[in-house]
Each structure stands twice: as C-alpha cells, then as structure tokens.
Structure 1
Amino acid sequence: MRKNWKSYAIGTMVASSLALAGCSSNSGASGGAEPAASTSSAVKASGFPIVDQPIKLKMFTRTAPVNGPFKDMPVFQEYEKMSNVQVEFTEAPTDGFQEKKNLLFASNELPDALYRSGLSQLEATRYGAAGQLIPLENLIDQYAPNLKQLMDQYPEIRAGITTPEGHIYAIPGIVTLDAARTDKKWINQAWLKKLNLKMPETTDDLYNVLVAFRDQDPNGNGKKDELPMTARAPVAGQGLPILAMMSGSFGLDLQFGYNINLENDKVNIWMGNDRNKEMLMYLNKLYKEKLLDPEMFSQKEADYLAKQGSGNTGFFFDQTNNNFLSIQDQYTGIAPLKGPHGDQLQSQGAPVARDFGAFAITSVNKYPEVTMRWIDYFYSDEGSTLLRFGREGENYEVKDGIPYYTKAFIDSGNQSKLTPYAGGGAPHLISEKVASFINPPQVQEAQKKLDPFMPKVRYAAPMFDEATAQKVNILRNDLDKYYEEQSTKFIAGALSFDKWDEFQATLKKLKIDELQQIYQDAYDKMKK
C-alpha cells in the first residue's frame, strides 16, 4: 500500500474555492452524477475521426500571459479536423482565474469540461460529491487507452487522483521527465564573472552576491538599476512561492503537498517552528536591504516573466529557460543553497502526476465518452507533439525521432502563443520525446545540480473522504490565509519578529495541532 502514497500533488488545496453557496447539480445526485445523455454508440473505439457526425463541446480554460487565443492554436485547428469535435473555449486569464472558476460552480453555470483547470484535490472531491463533476474511472478504462497505460505503468498516478470512495473526478498532467517537475535556481553568471565573484554555495554566499549585484553596477550602465533577486507573486490560497523556493535551505520539506516535515514517522507542520522563523528573518534581511524584489508580493505573472528576459535580474526561479532564451548564456542553474544548519534540500518538486485536476468533465456534458476520447489523445507522444509543437514543417522538424521547433519559428517568437502548454497546467504527457524546447542542454545541466538534493520519498497529498475534507478545508482556509498574511508582513518588515510568540499562539488557536493530527492519522493508516 505504501506505493499509493508516493506521488506528490502540487496542486495546492484551495480552501476558499470550495464554497458552493448551497448550489446543487443539474442531476441532483450526490455520489457522482451520470450525464443527461449518453452517446457511446456514436463514439469510435479507436482511430479518427472520433465521431462521424461533428459535435461541439464547450470548455472553460485558463490562459497564461504568454498565450494567444486558443482558436488560433494549430493543435486545436488540426485536431478539430482529425476528430470531428469542435471545442469552443471560454478563456480566463491566470490573474483572476480562480475566482471565475469558483463562480462557475457556485452559479452552476457549467461548461462541458474544464481544460487546464487547476482543480485542487478538495475541489475535485467536493464538486464530484455534489454531482457537478462526473466520475471518470469507467470512462478511462473504456475510452482512454493512452491514459490507462500510463496509470498502469505509474500506479501512484491512480492512487493520487482516486477518492476513498473509489472515484476519479479529475485527471492530471503527466510528466515522466524529471526536469519538468522542478523550478531551477537561475543566477546571472555574466554578472558573477564581471564582478569576479564565486558561485554561491550557502545562504550567506547568496547574500554577499546579491549585495554586490546591488552595489557594483554589474550591468555597466552607471546606474543602480539592477534587480538582485525576484520570485513569483503569491496566488490566492496557494502560499508564497519564495518560501517553497528557499525552505529546503532551512531544513523545511513539503511533504503531503503541504508545509510538512516527516521525521521518524512523525508529521510536523512547521509553520510555527524556529527554522521557519530563521527563513523569514533571512528573507526580511534581503527585502529590507533591497536585495529582494519590492514588487514580489504584487507583480503580475507577465511582469515576472519580463524580468527574467530583461537580463537585468540577478537570481530567480523557473522550470525552464523559455523566458530568457535570447540571453540564455547570461544565466546558469545552481544547486540548492546550504543553510545555517547545513541543510541543503530541494524541497520544491512535483510528481509524475504533476498538475492535479488539469481536466474534468461536468454533469451537463452530453458527450462524456467523446470528451474522454478527445482528451486521451494528448496522453500519447503523437498527441502531445501536436499540442506542444503544432504543424510539422511549418512549426517543427523531427531529428532522430525528437521534434524541435524550426529556427524560423523560434525567431518569430510566436511559439508560446501557439501552444496551450506555455504557462503550465495543460492536460497532456510530457516525456523526453516531446520536451526538447523546455529541456535543452542548459536546463538538463540545471536539473543535474538539483538531483542529489531531491528527497528520496515524496508522499502524496491525501485524498480525504468528504467529511474529513470538509474539516481540512475549514482548518486550512483559516490557517493558510493567516500564515500567508503574516509571512508577508514578517518579510516586508511590517510585523516585528518580537511578535513571533503571538504568531505561534494564533496558529494554535487556529487549530494547527488538529490539522497536524489529521495528517498524522492519514500517514499512520498508510503505514499499516
């Protein structure tokens, strides 16, 4: 049974998104509704087209700042011709996407499916139990041979997406490529060379390097306009990315998809412990001395990506080098920094089932079998190649069995606009065969710097039963909001560390110990 817990769900449990405002599904079922109509007889078991007579599906999706309109993407234009399935996308930008998704369920005005939907485990459990999402396990067995094969090959995928009642309400993106499951630590090696600085190995080294970046004019323009360090802004309910990026240097892991260390079979939620205080004090020092981006808490995703490509940033975090390709030689990946107690852990990382809740089918869908066959294609190398690379000859060419963007297409700068994978979270397979653009030699080398420091075991976030999920929802809604707010204040200097005892006491009042016991009980059951 142990293997059923050894995947790590990065989809954070967004507690606030689970309030359904008392709504009910169209069917009124409580255990996973069947769709209003079934069209299995019209669905071809294999091959294309999927159906002889064209059908239309409506899907709700998230768009990243780098994306263009989905209707202009080669993958959907070509796949419509192949499949006889026309998809009408309702697009919502990354900023504000969660709120719009919440409204869909609260109002019960549902699309046929959610694509690149970022459903959390709690959302899938709640909306599935409410009958708004339909169970997918039988559809997968009958109409998704590619996905089923991957789930058989990696049993932790099925375990990580199946509720205690045995239902699957959402399917993930699947990543069999190690380098696509981590954010690398990118540093401006051109600045290091110009200032005759060594590559930082410890958190103290990093501080000294950032000071030099700030004060010694590494860009050579005579102005103090360099940005020493930046990170992604927080997304509501998902915590501060900077903490996940730096926690390993302070001995803080991210087990069970949460702020959890697991030591000697004991679960420890570390938000109130001294190691976390040390991390926050370190980040406060960087922020106070203008070494850490003052816009880090509020910047848009597009702003963060632009800073990567500007060449005027010293240190940042991202999965790949897509956003600074034109100046890629200026940067290199480094190993996790050794912290004040000798800790050097790559705590941030994702599982084979990297993007939980990437795709789901709702109860209003009249063509669930067609929809499952439609999405299954993207869990093959062929389908993933179409999604990620577009049209052969026009957008990419194949060398030694691996697709590569053509130079002309890269030079056009349009690749991010013409594929839904850019920006992350698309439901498809990422393997070595389809990852040449996100896994070039520079990224492979950066991943090698992280590999020795990856944890040996990464436990999955438990899929609780409905009653326990409701309790976790309530506890985490309060705890996570408070922790994010106070951590921001500690880092920004708006809250003195003299208040740490009060901070710890409030965590206790918000029942952090009760939440810890729930995770402990879940772990103990797994161990039996």
Structure 2
Amino acid sequence: MKNWTTRLGSVALCTSLVAGCSGTASPPPSANGETPQGSEKTKNTFTMLMVDHPNWPYNKDWVVWKWIEEKTGATFQVQLPSGELKDTINLNVASGNMPDITFFTGRADADKFGQQGVLANILDYIDSMPNLKKWLEKYPGIAKSSLAANGAMYMLPNEGFGETNRLIWMYREDVFKKHNLNPPSNYEELIEVSKKLKELYPGSYPFSFRTGPRLAILDYASAQFGTHSGFFLDEKTGKLRYGPTEDGYKKMVEMFHRFHKEGIMPPDWLTVNVQQWQNMVSTDKSFMIFDYIGRLDLFNIPMQKTNPEFKLAFMTPPEGVPGFKVNPYIHFIESGMTISARSGKIKEALQAYDWFYSEEAKTLLSWGKDNEIYTNENGQRKLKPDYLDVTDVRKKTGLATNGAYTWFDYDAHLAPATPGQREAYDQARKHDSVFRVKPQYNESELTTVSMLQSAVDKHREEQITRFILGERSLDQWDQYVAEAKKLGLDELTKLTQTAYDRLR
C-alpha cells in the first residue's frame, strides 16, 4: 500500500502550503470549503445511475439538487435501474456504456470493476480535491478502508450516516427500578440479574435478540470479549488475529451456552424473527436487548401511550472480559458514488464532489438552508412543523438520499428524536470499540480466499452452534481449532496477512 502512504504524505504537504498543489485555475476554497463569493461556477451536467428507496423515491425537483448546483455548478441526469441495480451495472460494464457516475451498494464490486479499469482512481485526481485531502487526514481509518488491494480508491468515501446502524445494549429501566435491580456491569452479573427476573416473571427470557441466524449476535458481542468474529489487526500490537479460535471467543461461547441452558435467552434464539422479538419486549417477556439504537423510540413511543411507566433505556455494555465495556463499531456504510474511467468529465465530477467534503456541504446537505427545514430556537435546532419526521424530510427535499451526501451530520436526524434517544447517542459514543479496517484481497487471491473462507465459516457456524446448544462439549475446543486448520485456516491466515501488509 505504498501508493497510499506516498499520496497521504503528499496530502499533508499540500495542506500545509497556502498555495496548495492543485495547479487548477479554480479559486481556492475558504477554510470551511466555501467557494469565494462572486466566483464563477462552471456548469456541468453528469449522467448518474443510482437506486432510490420506496419511502423516498427519487424526484428530479428535490431542492437538494438546486442547492448542490448553486455550490458546484453540477446537475445530474439520473437514471434508475429497471430491475436490480447490480444487474444494470453488469450490463453497463459489458456494453461499455457506463454513465459518468454510478452508485454502488457495496465496495467490493466497485473495487473489482475498478481494478479491471472500469472506474476512475480518485487518488489520481486528489491534487484538485483540497477538501477531500483534508477529510482523508481527518479520517485515516476510513481512508484506508476505502482502498482497493492495489492502493487505488474507486468509491467516494463517506462518514456520518452510518450512525443509523449503531448497536447498543438496552434495558427496561422501569422494571429494574421497580424491583431494585441494577443493570449488569459484566456477563456474570447479567446471568445473575436474569435469574432474578425469571423468578419475578415466570416464562420470561430476560435477554433476547433477533440476530441468531448465522450467529450475528456473536459478531456483535465479541467486542465485549476483546475479540472479533473474523480476522482483525490488534490495535496495540498490529499483529493479525483470528477471533473464533481465541480464548476470549471461547469464553463468549461459554456464556451463551449458559444463557441457553438456564433459559435466559429464548430456546429458539436461532430463528426468532423481528415480530416475535418485538412481542417479547413489549409484553414483559424480555428486559435486556442488544440491537439498533433506534429501537429505543420504536418501543418507547407506542408503549408509553398505554403504559406511561414503560421505559427502555441505554445500558452500558457489560464486560465479557475486563476492560471491554464497548459496543461493536459497525456504524458505517460501504455504499457510494464512483466515476467511470471512460467519462469525459472525470476531473469535473470529482471537483464537484470535492465540495461535499467541506464543512459547508456537511451542514447544508444534512440540515438544509437556515430556517427552511429546521429552525434555531435558543441554540437548538428543531424540525419545522411542515415535516412529520426525517423520513418526510428525505421524501420532500432529497436530503440524505443516495448521491446527495458523502459527509453527514447525524445530529440532523436526532433533532426530532426524543430526549431519551438523543441522550442514548451521547452515551453510546463513549463506548465505541475500535474501527477495524477490512483486508482487501486482490483478484488473484479472491478465488482461493472465497473457497477457504466458505469452508472455515461453515465449520465455525456449525460447531459454535453445537457448543452453545450443548451438543458438543467445550472441552473439545482445541479439537475444534485443529479442525478449522485442516480446512485451510492457516493458508487463509497467510493470505489475509498479505492483504493487511498492503495497508502498511
């Protein structure tokens, strides 16, 4: 990944020079990315393929497009796929008829096509993107995770909107207070308080979740045991680790086995669906959950209409092992905009998107113009009564829709939330685990990695499930590790180490 480190050094050098390194005749942006008043905006129209959302279908008359044009001179001829976005992209690639800009829902496909020469390498144009330069320095982890195996960047990175995916522990504060119970500070206490709740509420399952399939719940809980459900770099030593063979992972599995054995979680935890889970939480059948933070208002608002005492609240994540009162860092998204390598307007498109990485753009594309969507009352922004909620804002204005943001201030979506929801976000941000950069395999490695990963993951899911259900004794853990190695774990480790070495 020397390509990236060399460029990052160039970014730092250019940032320190007032004149910059761009060489472009465009006026330099101000400190917050604003273009000087009176400067001429070059008009450009770009073709764009993107996918919309049924709750806020694309509208060419959204005011957000007007605001973007005012700041960048860019307008967009938007195309929507007639079927699946992925199928349309494949057809465009095959025909060689790519629009200037294409929205990808996943970075892997963008990196694959980029390395095939279909998409432009954004870093080739970084000297004409002063705002993005500063932004990449501000978010080095995201910068690294945005790179393909060859050190190129094919998708415009994003930050902020992933907050919608934040996971937290929550508990029924009203029930705990009623019975003089304290929220657990570790997993042993979680078991003890769950036993008391089962005595008080026969037939209940004090801890429930809807993420049993493919053991997703363990992907999330592993952070509290100082490990991970796959490969990761140790933040202290920089060494490669594979979580599912570690002692911390074994301890987590042991805890979930005890949850299952003692009826702390539902017996059908592997298949509980959303509706079943919601019924348990809303009918005093479950009192601690681990899910998206938005569930707080989803439960509290309707439940408090019939039971004013009902209160689901943020719970500090319990430690699995000492020092890990953390929730997993999964609040990021890996979708975004790419530029066709065949476009005749690559530099122009990237210069337009460069503004998106300015403070000015972050504010405008999150909150809208002053007093048009949110009012400012005594220093606090409030959603105007013209809008029911943030979904209505997206539907009517286009804010926070695909293609209309890269750097988002999620506080805009918290403004209409209840005080409890906003407080939960404040608390949750104090308990983030580290952001883990994923390995980027090159095309020559992908076939082997895919084959080995499939075998190792299948074995892990099957055997860990058996450990939790008690169908296999944890005394056989070393045998389980040996089985994984026979399936190719060591070879997969070497390939992954090579992929991570490219990040250095």
8 Å CA contact 1:170, 1:356 repeated in 2: no
**Cα distance in 1, alignment partners of residues 66 and 157 from structure 2:** 23
Work out whether residues 168 and 327 of structure 2, in 8 Å CA contact, stay in contact via their aligned partners in 1. Answer: no
Higher relative contact order (CA 8 A, sep 6+): 1
Task: Give the SS at the match of 1:241.
Answer: helix
Q: Is the 8 A contact 1:420 1:426 kept in 2?
A: yes
Within 2, Cα distance between the matches of 1:111 and 1:485? 44
Q: Distance in 2 between matches of 1:391 and 1:304?
A: 42
Match of 2:187 among 178, 194, 203: 203
**Alignment partner for residue 133 of structure 1, among 88, 110, 119?**
119
Check the 8 A contact 2:168/2:317 in 1, yes or no.
Answer: no
Kindly indicate whether residue 293 of structure 2 is the aligned counterpart of residue 338 of structure 1: no
CA distance in 1, matches of 2:271, 2:79: 31
In our comparison, the structure showing a higher alpha carbon Rg is 2
Deviation at 1:337, TM superposition (A): 0.9
Does structure 2 retain, via aligned residues, the 8 Å contact 1:174–1:427?
no
The amino acid of 1:405's aligned partner reads L
Task: After TM superposition, list the pairs within 5 Å mapping 1:61-210 onto structure 2.
Answer: 61=51, 63=53, 67-71=55-59, 74=62, 76=64, 78-79=66-67, 82=70, 83=73, 85-88=75-78, 90=80, 101=86, 104-105=89-90, 108=93, 112-115=100-103, 117-120=105-108, 123-142=109-128, 144-163=129-148, 165-175=150-160, 182-210=166-194
1:275 and 2:248 matched: yes
Matched, 1:368 2:342: no
Displacement of 1:268 in angstroms is 2.6
Shift of 1:74: 4.3
What is the TM-score with the length of structure 1 in the denominator? 0.67
Q: Which residue of 2 aligns with 1:508?
A: 485
Alignment of 1:355-504 (within 5 A): 355-363=333-341, 365=343, 367-389=345-367, 393=371, 395-399=373-377, 403-406=381-384, 409-410=387-388, 414-415=392-393, 428-431=406-409, 434=412, 436-437=414-415, 442=420, 445-446=423-424, 454=432, 460-468=437-445, 471-484=448-461, 486-488=463-465, 490-491=467-468, 493=469, 496-497=472-473, 503-504=480-481
Equivalent pair of 2:186/2:318 in contact (CA under 8 Å) = yes
- How many angstroms does 1:136 deviate by? 1.5
The aligned counterpart of 1:246 is: 221
C-alpha contact (below 8 Å) 1:184/1:334 kept by paired residues: yes
Q: Which runs of 5+ in 2 are unaligned?
A: 6-23, 30-34, 305-309
Contact 1:146–1:380 (CA<8 Å) still a contact in 2?
Answer: yes
User: Number of aligned pairs?
Assistant: 460
- Identity over aligned residues, as a percent? 22
SS at match of 2:152: coil
Report the equivalent of 2:14: none
Preserved contact between residue 46 and residue 100 of structure 2 (Cα < 8 Å): no
> Unmatched 5+ residue regions in structure 1?
6-40, 218-222
1:325 and 1:150 mapped to 2: Cα distance? 37
> What is the distance in 2 between the residues matched to 1:103 and 1:500?
46
Q: Deviations over 1:209-264 (max 9, x none)?
A: 445556645xxxxx968884224466xxxx6431132113333247xx83565675
Determine if contact 1:404/1:436 at 8 Å carries over to the other structure: no
CA gap 1:79/1:59 in 2 versus in 1, 3 angstroms: farther
Contact 1:136 1:170 in 2 (8 A): yes
Give, in whole Å, the separation in 1 of the partners of 2:410 and 2:390: 25
For each residue in 1:308-328, what CA deviation from the matched residue of structure 2 results, as whole angstroms up to 9, or x when unmatched? 996866323224556457369
Partner secondary structure for residue 204 of structure 1: helix
Give the deviation of 1:507 after TM superposition: 1.4
* CA-CA distance at 1:269 after TM superposition: 0.8
Q: For the residues of structure 2 that align with 1:433 and 1:273, how far apart are their CA atoms?
A: 38
The structure-2 alpha-carbon separation of the partners of 1:52 and 1:231, relative to structure 1 and needing over 3 Å to count, comes to: same
Q: Secondary structure at the match of 2:107?
A: coil
2:183 aligns to what SS in structure 1? coil
Question: 1:172, 1:427 within 8 Å by CA — same for their partners in 2?
Answer: no
How far has the Cα of 1:336 moved from its partner?
2.2
Shift in CA distance, 74/310, structure 1 to aligned 2, threshold 3 Å: farther
CA contact (8 A) 1:80 1:86 kept: no
Check if 1:60 corresponds to 2:36.
no
Give the Cα–Cα distance (whole angstroms) in 2 for the partners of residues 136 and 155 of structure 1.
16
Q: Alpha-carbon deviation of 1:169? A: 1.0
Q: Distance in 2 between the 1:191 and 1:475 partners?
A: 47
- Aligned residues of 1:62 and 1:91 also touching (Cα < 8 A): no
Check the 8 A contact 2:452/2:487 in 1, yes or no: yes
Q: TM-score, normalised by structure 2?
A: 0.69
Match of 1:317?
Answer: 291
Q: Structure 1 pair 194/420, CA: closer, same or farther in 2 (3 Å)?
A: farther
RMSD, matched Cα = 5.0
